[in-house]
Amino acid sequence: MLDLLFYILVALLSVAFMEIVAILAHKYIMHGPGWFLHKSHHTKHNDTLELNDIYFIFFSMPSVVCIVYGFIQSSYIILSVGIGILMYGMIYLIFHDIIVHNRFGLNIPIKINYIKKVKKSHMRHHKCKNKHGATNFGFITYR
């Protein structure tokens, strides 16, 4: 039982760590050399997909590698890290893409204050339409 609790803790710590990784990647990669992809996300459009979605492929790779390696090698710590990264990806998809940006035709009313604050913070980030000058780089945190 303690092993299971430990692996759950590892997965949850991985979720928290991924927010730090996401903030740094968003600020220094997406708003840096990767702006050529990310600027599609800061531009108003009616397309279902945007160039910025390519980041999903890159950022999901560590999760896939950890989950596959964890299963093959019976390394439950690595598997837990992969599951934590996957959980972060799902939280990101739900919070950022569906709730904040109403993507995929879903418009979910927000009743939870925390989610309202995350959305407000992220929309402040989107007021900046160029590579430099943006703030609030977090996805599941706000300031």
Handedness of CA 93, 112, 123, 11 (dihedral sign): negative
Single out the residue of 138, 104, 134, 108 nearest to residue 42, CA to CA: 134
Question: Residue 21: what pLDDT?
Answer: 94
Taking residue 70's Cβ as centre, other Cβ atoms within 10 Å add up to 19
DSSP state of 131: S
pLDDT at residue 53 greater than cutoff 80 = yes
pLDDT at residue 32 greater than cutoff 90 = yes
For residue 143, name the pLDDT band (cuts at 50, 70, 90): low
Mean pLDDT, the chain, integer: 89
Single out the residue of 117, 71, 64, 108 nearest to residue 86, CA to CA: 64
Provide the residue type at 132 as one letter. Answer: H
